[in-house]
Structure 1
Amino acid sequence: MENQFFDVTIIGGGPAGLNAALVLGRARKKVAVIDAGRPRNAVTHAVHGFLTRDGISPSEFRRMAKEEISAYPAVSFVADTVVSITGTNGQFQIETEQGQTFASQKILFAVGMKDQPLGIPGLAEVYGKSAFVCPYCDGWELRDQPLVIITKGAELMHFAPLISGWTNRFTVCTNGPDELTDAQREELQRNHVPLFDSPIRQIDSSDGIVRQVVLEDETIVPCTGIFFKPNLITGSDLPQTIGCEMTDMGAIVVDEFGKTNIPGVYSAGDAATRMHQAIAAASMGALAAAVINNELNIEAWGENR
């Protein structure tokens, strides 16, 4: 596949990239989907909240998606990692880790986000099994159970009332100074939410199911599940390297159509939004693909004038 030309190169093969590939394939565009096969949601058992696919495993979701897309032969899947992008709109040059090179008119970054090291002893052992980051994705499975919430400050005051829709049996461990005002602490007390600011020594678990959170001051908080705020970075440095504008939170800045500040470069999915849900990512991918297709068609139409 070396030195082949594509209308669109999609970097990332999660829900955003796959749905974009489906739309573009149906629009008869020649597409390469380049993905290394290391999705962030591989740690989880199931994708939730995705109509007709609720509860499907991430790996099965991708398998089924690729099978559907294979009906459109203009879409190619490349198991590789992009390491450099040069050129401009209509004439991008892409190089991969394995030494492959591609020419492409347009680029769609669907690189998602990736976790920074978790930093709490025992958290990696339960992540994706009984410790999660999104109650919309996994709150139902932990409904009415005793939970520990690991976050602090403004994020905590957003998350506490949110999680209360799934369970009122939760304890907050801020793993250090809580970064709250007196009024915010009083609000938690009025809602009978225990609050501990001692650093977390470790999380004890058995076969991936958390049993208790142990704090440095010897406090032990029994629980059967955890929600925590992860430290995330964009799944690839390439968008920033080629000049894409980034938010303070590390997301790629796009307009309502997925366009970045660089002509011919788009982004969709978790890398371009804080709404980290599979169905939202797929929707963004579909919309960006339609806009890219329209741009390609208009450009080709104009060449015939």
Structure 2
Amino acid sequence: MDFFKAYEVIIIGGSYSGLSAAMTLGRSLRSVLIIDGEKPCNRQTPHAHNFLTQDGEKPNVIAQKAKEQVLNYDSVHFLGDFALKGKKTREGFEIITKSGKTFSARKLIVASGIKDLMPEIKGFSECWGITAIHCPYCHGYEFKSEKTAIMANGERAFHMASLVNNLTDELCILTQGTPDFDVKQLDKLKKYNISIIETPVKEIIHENGELQQVVLQDGTCLVLKAVYAALPFEQSSNIPMELGCSLTETGHLQVDMFQKTEVYGIYACGDNTSKMRSVAHAVATGNIAGSMVNHELIQEDF
């Protein structure tokens, strides 16, 4: 495919939110370039859930179908590359890719997602997205009534426990050290027979990502089917911060209700903007971002 040097919109990231934004823009006849490294954060996840018409489908199948539909719009182009650097120009923005290509656009949509920072626990990364999971809405039903743990501490662990408690009666919290709960929280956890285990996790024993046992540093083995984990993360792309975009206290890109950042001409959508980390939410925010970018272009030109 021949690529132009200049587009109306460049979208960094071509997974669910980026493709959703591109479809909206393609249907408005906007020239769009999607730049995507093709390494989605859910590449190990076997099935996507809680997304109407696609419940239980493989994530890569959803993404591939979406990509095919989006590229039916002639004004939308897809480049398998990594957006490495960005800078402001008089006309908008310039993006330089890892392969050395340079493209310009009037508007920029950042849909590059986030990068989970894996703990130094043997076997954890192999289970991530399969039986080491992040969201009860995305994965919880599949582990209902099973022996389950939450690997977190303090308020995050307590909040997750309140959600998962509705799915199983066999629940414990792995605090990875001294528990950080107040008296009311401890009373509530005790009321629902949610045990607290302070000893750090040493290893996760699994078979192709299917959790079998969690081994603690003192040698204790816990037979579990799933572990919810609240992992730290970082933005997958530094470009928006380099261009002046702000982060929230949680590390997400600061956007308003229309997915607009604090930098004029830059919008963001998907996992990099919200704690609501799901396929459905990513698609929804991408649709909003695409619509509002088109609106902004109209306001400038009409």
Q: Indicate the TM-score class for this superposition, using the shorter chain for normalisation.
A: over 0.9
How do 1:257-272 residues align onto structure 2 when only pairs under 5 Å count?
Answer: 257-272=258-273
Instruction: Say if 1:143 and 1:166, in contact at 8 Å, map to a contact too.
Output: yes
- Partners of 1:256 and 1:172 in 2: how far apart? 35
2:134·2:230 contact (CA, 8 Å) conserved in 1?
A: yes
Root-mean-square deviation over aligned CA pairs: 1.4
| CA distance in structure 1 between the partners assigned to 2:253 and 2:198 by the alignment | 33
Aligned counterparts, 1:1-305, within 5 A: 1=2, 4-88=5-89, 90-301=91-302
Count of aligned pairs between the two proteins: 301
Deviations 1:38-70 (A, max 9, x none): 100101011111111111212111110111112
Instruction: Check conservation: 1:3, 1:101, Cα contact below 8 A.
Output: no
- Output one character per residue of 1:141-168: Cα deviation in whole Å (capped at 9) or x when no partner: 1011111111110001101110012111
Shifted more, 48-57 versus 176-185: the winner is 176-185
Which letter does structure 2 place at the counterpart of 1:14? S
Write the distance in 2 (CA, Å) between the matches of 1:135 and 1:249: 20
Partner amino acid, structure 1, of 2:255: V
Cα distance, 1:225 vs structure 2: 1.5
Per mean C-alpha deviation after superposition, the further-off stretch among 172-181 and 261-270 is 172-181
- Structure 1 length-normalised TM: 0.95
Q: What one-letter code is carried by the residue in structure 1 that aligns with 2:83?
A: V
Cα gap change, 1:83/1:144 in structure 2, threshold over 3 Å: closer, same or farther? same
Q: Structure 1: state its 5+ residue gaps.
A: none
Asked if the contact 2:154/2:180 (under 8 Å) is kept, the reply is yes
**How big is each residue's C-alpha offset from its partner over 1:180-230, in whole Å with a ceiling of 9 and x where there is no partner?**
123322221111111111111211223322122121233322111211112
C-alpha displacement of 1:3: 5.9
State the SS of the aligned residue for 2:157.
Answer: helix
Once structures 1 and 2 are overlaid, which stretch shifts more, 220-229 or 281-290?
Answer: 220-229
| 1:233-286 residue CA offsets vs partner (Å, 9 max, x unmatched) | 111111111110111211110111111111101111111111111111111110
Q: Which moved more, 1:74-83 or 1:175-184?
A: 175-184
1:298 deviation in Å? 1.7
Between the aligned partners of 1:129 and 1:252, the Cα distance in structure 2 is: 27
Preserved contact between residue 92 and residue 103 of structure 1 (Cα < 8 Å): yes
Distance 1:129 1:87 in 2: 40
- Aligned residue for 1:244, secondary structure, equals coil
The whole-number CA distance in structure 1 between the counterparts of 2:92 and 2:195 is 58
Identity %: 32
8 Å Cα contact 1:89-1:106 kept in structure 2 = no
